[in-house]
């Protein structure tokens, strides 16, 4: 079949299965935060997710460290992100360094670096230990299910968004593919947290197509992490040779290719780094899965035979979701640049924050479609800016602000783009979050929203 072949679809009726004040599409970190925040402001909320669990890349993608949430002298992402961390920690599914260990020094580095809770962007060696959290993917699912239920969000899993319902330039709802056929969910405000901008793109919003490496994240069990760490520090030359070969076998990774998890003997591996795949194409997604698994098995065979601590290692699971870092990016009312991120530009309409950078409300608003807010890794940023500002905590910060913004628009009877950023910040603060409205001492102030 060539791309010139088509079949004609028959027009038909789609049953409306829900009507909510706010419809959130995508149950990842941003969507979870948006749904809970809007519900806590008193809106009825329907949260739609294609997979049978919440968490997106944090659980299904097994991205198991929450980082980019402090700027060296303060924790910058609080709110629902911290609630999630504390809830997971209470039941032993999340680990983070105590305040006194959040500093520079070999003693704390040796104790904490294998959890991945170091400042990986710091040029200082060893990297400083910072506030970051290592968690278990099922711990995330448990905590988010509890918080979503407590808030009273109406969740619809197994529902794959496929079409935006747009009337007179305003989004009025969405259509999902389900086992029961196509279903319409109507909402007064829709929040796109699909990560790939599925809703905004379908609604006709402007976007660019970014790309970055993809990863089949996996976990190994049966690892003697104490022995592996002993080898790293006590036999550095032998370690360096074997570690280099391990990285070569998997074909690309960060400096530490394995990190500890809250489960004893289980490590997660944020590798391989695979380039040349378009994560919006079925053919490429399929090839990436096969390629990733081959590389994983090559690594496991090598470390079982050669790396102290890994003699009994075995694959527990490969993440059910391909690790996709970047696809479509909104071209919203403002496009955040790499300079904005690197220079810590503080905007007059800042409503969210990450490590030491800020998110203007305009970068969450499509130019062309009303009734729609965008939050998460597909927000309006250049490709290079997004690579620096897409970690889980900043996505949750954006999500929380998006949920609050939707509620404010509905209570005032105005369009989301007319909501005052100051009002969003005030309500996010009332919910316990830090929307970044007060710039840190190292921020560059951009006073106007133009």
Ligand X SMILES: Cc1cc2nc3c(=O)[nH]c(=O)nc-3n(C[C@H](O)[C@H](O)[C@H](O)COP(=O)(O)OP(=O)(O)OC[C@H]3O[C@@H](n4cnc5c(N)ncnc54)[C@H](O)[C@@H]3O)c2cc1C
Residues lying near ligand X in the complex (CB under 6 A) are found at 25-31, 48-51, 56-58, 61, 63, 65-68, 160-161, 193-196, 198, 215, 217, 270, 323-325, 376-377, 390-392, 395
Using alpha carbons, select from 145, 153, 132 the residue that is nearest to residue 89. 132
Taking alpha carbons only, the member of 114, 122, 116 closest to residue 72 is: 122
Residue nearest to ligand X according to CB distances in the complex: 28
Question: What whole-number distance in Å separates Cα of residue 354 and Cα of residue 341?
Answer: 10
Of 29, 24, 23, 22, nearest in space to 321 by CA: 29
Smallest distance from the beta carbon of 382 to ligand X, in angstroms?
A: 16
Task: Give the nearer residue to ligand X in terms of CB position, either 219 or 377.
Answer: 377
Q: How far is the CB of 217 from ligand X (least distance, A)?
A: 5
Contact 184, 17 (CB under 8 A): yes
Least distance in angstroms from the C-beta of 152 to ligand X: 20
Q: Which residue number, 148 or 446, has a Cβ lying nearer to ligand X?
A: 148
**Min CB(393)–ligand X separation in Å:** 6
Residue by residue, DSSP assigns 154-188 as: EEE-S-EEEEEEEETTEEEEEEEEETTEEEEEEEE
- Of 93 and 270, the one with the shorter C-beta distance to ligand X is 270
Could you give the CA distance from residue 80 to residue 432 in angstroms, rounded to a whole number? 8
Q: Which is nearer to ligand X, 43 or 58 (CB)?
A: 58
- Given the complex with ligand X, which of 31 and 332 has the nearer CB atom? 31
Tokens describing residue 389: 């500002």
- Residue 90 burial (C-beta neighbours within 10 Å; 0-12, 13-18, 19+): exposed
- 203 by DSSP, 3-state: which? helix
CB of 394 to ligand X, least distance (A): 8
Could you tell me how far CA 418 lies from the centroid of its own chain?
Answer: 27
| Token representation of residue 116 | 């991945």
Taking the complex as a whole, how short is the minimal distance between the CB of residue 48 and ligand X, in angstroms? 5
Query: Least distance in Å: CB of 378 to ligand X?
Result: 7
In terms of CB distance, is 37 or 446 closer to ligand X? 37
Both tokens assigned to 154: 């109406």
Decide whether 193 or 359 has the Cβ nearer to ligand X: 193
Min separation Cβ 234 and ligand X, Å:
27
Of 111 and 387, the one with the shorter C-beta distance to ligand X is: 387
Which residues, other chains included, contact 116 with Cβ-Cβ below 8 Å and sequence gap of 6+?
Answer: 64, 65, 67, 132, 134, 256, 259, 260
3-state helix, strand, coil in the chain (%, to 5): 35, 25, 40
Provide the CB-side half-sphere exposure for 188 (13 A, CA): 19
Q: Which is nearer to ligand X, 81 or 446 (CB)?
A: 81
Output the smallest distance, CB 280 to ligand X, in A: 11
Smallest separation, CB 114 to ligand X (Å): 14
DSSP string, 96-146: ---GGG-S-SHHHHHHHGGGT-B-TT--SSSPPB-S-EEE-HHHHHHHHHH
SS3 for 274?
Answer: strand
- Rank residues 325 and 446 by Cβ distance to ligand X and give the closer one: 325
């Amino acid at each position: 079949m060539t791309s010139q072949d088509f079949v004609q679809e028959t027009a038909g009726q789609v049953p409306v299965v829900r009507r909510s004040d706010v419809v959130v599409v995508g149950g990842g970190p941003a969507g979870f935060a948006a749904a809970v925040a809007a519900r806590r402001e008193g809106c009825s909320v329907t949260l739609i997710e294609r997979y049978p669990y919440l968490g997106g890349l944090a659980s299904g993608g097994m991205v198991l460290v929450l980082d980019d949430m402090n700027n060296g002298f303060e924790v910058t992402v609080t709110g629902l992100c911290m609630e999630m961390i504390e809830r997971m920690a209470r039941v032993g599914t999340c680990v983070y360094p105590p305040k006194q260990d959040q500093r520079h020094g070999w003693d704390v580095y040796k104790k904490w670096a294998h959890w991945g809770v170091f400042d990986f962007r710091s040029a200082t060696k060893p990297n400083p230990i910072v506030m970051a959290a290592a968690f278990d993917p099922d711990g995330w699912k448990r905590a988010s299910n509890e918080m979503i239920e407590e808030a009273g969000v109406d969740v619809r899993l197994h529902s794959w968004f496929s079409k935006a319902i747009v009337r007179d330039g305003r989004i009025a709802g969405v259509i999902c593919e389900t086992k029961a056929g196509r279903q319409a969910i109507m909402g007064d405000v829709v929040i796109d947290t699909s990560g790939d901008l599925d809703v905004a793109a379908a609604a006709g919003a402007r976007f660019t197509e970014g790309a970055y490496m993809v990863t089949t994240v996996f976990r190994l069990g049966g690892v003697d992490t104490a022995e592996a760490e002993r080898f790293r520090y006590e036999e550095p030359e032998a370690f360096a040779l074997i570690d280099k070969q391990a990285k070569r076998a998997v074909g690309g990774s960060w400096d530490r290719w394995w990190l500890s998890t809250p489960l004893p003997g289980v490590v997660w591996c944020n590798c391989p780094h695979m380039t040349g795949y378009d994560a919006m194409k079925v053919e490429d997604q399929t090839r990436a899965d096969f390629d990733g698994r081959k590389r994983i098995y090559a690594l496991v065979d090598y470390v079982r035979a050669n790396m102290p601590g890994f003699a009994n290692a075995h694959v527990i699971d490969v993440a059910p979701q391909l690790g996709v870092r970047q696809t479509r990016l909104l071209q919203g009312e403002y496009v955040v640049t790499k300079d904005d991120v690197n220079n810590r530009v503080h905007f007059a309409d800042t409503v969210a924050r990450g490590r030491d950078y800020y998110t203007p409300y305009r970068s969450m608003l499509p130019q062309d479609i009303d009734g729609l807010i965008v939050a998460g890794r597909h927000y309006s940023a250049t490709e290079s800016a997004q690579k620096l500002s897409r970690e889980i905590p900043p996505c949750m910060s954006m999500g929380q602000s998006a949920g609050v913004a939707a509620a404010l628009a509905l209570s005032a009877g105005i369009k989301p783009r007319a909501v005052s950023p100051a009002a969003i910040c005030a309500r996010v603060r009332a919910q316990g979050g830090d929307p970044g409205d007060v710039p840190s001492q190292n921020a560059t102030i951009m006073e106007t929203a133009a």
